[in-house]
A and B are shown apart, each in its own frame.
Chain A
Amino acid sequence: NAGVTQTPKFRILKIGQSMTLQCTQDMNHNYMYWYRQDPGMGLKLIYYSVGAGITDKGEVPNGYNVSRSTTEDFPLRLELAAPSQTSVYFCASSTGQGYGANVLTFGAGSRLTVL
């Protein structure tokens, strides 16, 4: 049982480049999330999804896009990378139902540097 898998683990981008952070989960969770964590700070929600085909903005969505074509996958796209997007990105998932519905299972993170 792999849980939540993120790729790549590390990436360096030049300003203006674009890339996609991949996230997949094998727990059949309906809810998936993307957070960013800046140095010395907590996690900020970028986007979330409550099921395939449904996505919505979180606290800090500007500069990012997401899609959810399957239950398993929730990629995060950066279209025009900026230095302010240098951060560690975490994907997470949860059942969204029943007790423990809001307990998130996190991936190991993707460290992105924009130069």
Chain B
Amino acid sequence: GESVGLHLPTLSVQEGDNSIINCAYSNSASDYFIWYKQESGKGPQFIIDIRSNMDKRQGQRVTVLLNKTVKHLSLQIAATQPGDSAVYFCAEFSDFPAGGTSYGKLTFGQGTILTVHP
């Protein structure tokens, strides 16, 4: 059978708590980062992005922090709700010249499973 989630980090929180999901990226040349949310049985959905010339960006109930010194990205979710339960992926963007075209390559992290308990 499937072993979905066997290798993914997990985070369990109570409804109303704040959640912090961490991500370490690998390429110091990456200049753009995106957080995606993937609910069970669905494709990833865009949450928030940040460029490398920024340290912090806020959206609705979400904040992304970028620490380029240690190549670390975090997603903070305020007042977490049961509907926030999902797998969260960070993705880093870097140039990937290939085949004569310059492709901006998105590399996805492994993901973190967030479970919100009512």
- Identify the A interface with B (CB < 8 A): 4, 35, 39-45, 48, 50, 54, 56-57, 90, 92, 96, 100-109
Are B8's CB and A106's CB within 8 A? no
Contacts of A103 in B (CB 8 A): 34, 46, 49
Which residues of B are at the interface with A, using a C-beta cutoff of 8 A? 2-8, 32, 34, 41-46, 49, 89, 93, 98-99, 101, 103-106, 108-111
A-B pairs under 8 A by CB, number: 66
Chain B positions within 8 Å of A102 at CB level: 32, 34, 93, 104, 106
For the complex formed, measure the closest distance between the CB of B6 and the CB atoms of chain A, giving whole angstroms: 5
How long is the Cα–Cα vector from A35 to B89 in the complex, in angstroms?
Answer: 14
The answer to whether B3 and A40 have CB atoms under 8 Å apart is: yes
Give 5 A-B contacts (CB < 8 Å), ordered by A residue.
Answer: A39-B6, A42-B110, A56-B98, A101-B104, A106-B44
Chain A residues with CB below 8 A from B6, complex form: 39-40
